[in-house]
Amino acid sequence: MPYIPTELKNRTLPTLSFYKRALDLSENTDPKKRDLRDLYACIQRFAENTRIMGMMITYRDAVLGFDWSIGLDPEDPITESLTRVFKDSRLNQNLDMLVNTFFTGITVIGPVRTLDTEADIMVKYPMTEHDLTDVGPWPDSSTGAAFFSEKNYKLTAKPINERKQYIVDLYNPLKGIKKNYVGGVLKPVGWYLLVRNILEQLRLRYSERYAEPDRDVEWQDGATKDDIEAAKDWAQNPGDNASFAHSNKVKAAFLEAVNNPSKETFQTAIDACNTEMDILILGQTATTQGTPGKLGNEEARDEVRKDRMWSALKRITRTINDQFLEVEYQIITGNNNAVLPEEYYFSFNTESEEDSETNARTANNLHQMGADLDIKVLEKKTGFKIRPTGDGFLPGDKGLIGV
């Protein structure tokens, strides 16, 4: 059951003090006192913010805007089997879960298969997604993750050690700098979001104060008590009345609205917070204008820095090949120590982002240097149909004969 801290049950976003406490709990060096659930509950709320969610969708569309394939030869029996299992598991429909690892630092899927001890075979299940507050990084497990549960107000962590049963995708933006960093990119984004929320509240408060011009009233000797009370009420409660009836013993006037520079100051600070969040998520500042003549995925790719997008594609590819397809390959071949050959790798078809002319020129240079080129890879990279040879390779030293 998803965990919701008491402090968040009646709030959209946490307070700065609660978020600081959540960070302290998540970074406690004593495993018995470490608790990641408050941090992940905060991260869930950050992800529900409309601006953050919009940037997350842009990032996801940029990464998943490419088609995918398994293996080089779709007619290869092993390729067919791996592709079928991949689709049957519905992992192909849930790649966005692996994309989200960038934001949260962890994704756990499973069990994707379990061992039938009587038959001594692996039984496969469709993908199972876990709530972010139920799982978390855990250095003391073989997969680097654990399930969390609470009984009698005591938190327990159950390490996930079944490598063949679960897919555990981890992301540490500070790898090599901070070993046990948790929370992904949304962890620092949270600070800017909370500060921006405070600034917006202050801006609204000041806007209400300076939205209308001040009112001035004067009364002369002889003004009745009713005239004076009506004049005071008009001056002190500007939102309730635009005018009032009074005798000629009372003068009422609007003063020129005060020019309040605080509004621009608040907006400048809010824009600075937005810029920092944009850079953390997209790698660059976001734009709100569409580009005529471009499809949605193409626009999304323009919004996300290329190196940020390629990094995500490589991480997802590595996770699928190492934690899913390699295990399936071992089951198919009956060899528990088999390593998945590159010819059966999962990959994204990124040719639309590549320059086929440049690829062809590179291939020609390699070929003239004597390198034997795999025809299927060459066709995929250049878009040319090449006359096949017996072993599937184009021998070197002859130029691109057969192109």
Three-state SS across 319-333? HHHHHHHHHHHHHHH
Statement to judge: residues 169 and 243 lie in one domain: no
Q: How confident is the model at residue 153 (pLDDT cuts 50, 70, 90)?
A: low
Confidence of residue 291 (pLDDT cuts 50, 70, 90): very low
321 and 280 in one domain?
Answer: yes
193 and 302 co-located in one domain? yes
- Quick one: tokens of 101? 């690892």
User: Alpha-carbon distance 8 to 38, whole Å?
Assistant: 9
Counting Cβ atoms within 10 Å, is residue 183 exposed (0-12), middle (13-18) or buried (19+)?
Answer: buried
Question: What would the two tokens of residue 367 be?
Answer: 């070929």
pLDDT in tens, 23-70: 999 988 887 788 999 999 999 999 999 999 999 999 999 999 899 999
- Pick from 157, 140, 146, 150: nearest CA to 106: 146
Number of domains observed in the structure of the chain:
3
Say if residue 243 is in the same domain as residue 268.
no
User: What is the domain extent for residue 392?
Assistant: 354-403
For residue 389, the model assigns a pLDDT of 58
Is the domain of 8 the same as that of 114? yes
Note whether 118 and 105 are same-domain residues: yes
- Same domain, residue pair 67 and 169: yes
Of 256, 286, 313, the position where a domain reaches its end is 256
Please tell me which residue, 399 or 68, carries the higher pLDDT value: 68
Task: Report CA dihedral (301, 305, 310, 316) to the nearest 10 degrees.
Answer: -80
Lowest mean pLDDT among 60-69, 71-80, 101-110, 262-271: 262-271
Both 290 and 323 in a single domain?
yes
340 and 220 in one domain? no
User: Within this chain, do residues 62 and 182 fall inside the same structural domain, yes or no?
Assistant: yes
pLDDT digits (tens, 9 = 90+) for 107-131: 999 888 766 555 555 566 666 788 8
Q: Using CA atoms, how far apart are residues 277 and 288, in angstroms rounded to an integer? A: 15
Q: In the structure encoding, which two tokens stand for residue 186, read together?
A: 């949304």
Indicate the residue among 334, 353, 372 that finishes a domain.
353
171 band by pLDDT with thresholds 50, 70 and 90: very high
Question: Do 77 and 190 belong together in one domain?
Answer: yes
Same domain membership, residue 284 and residue 252 = no
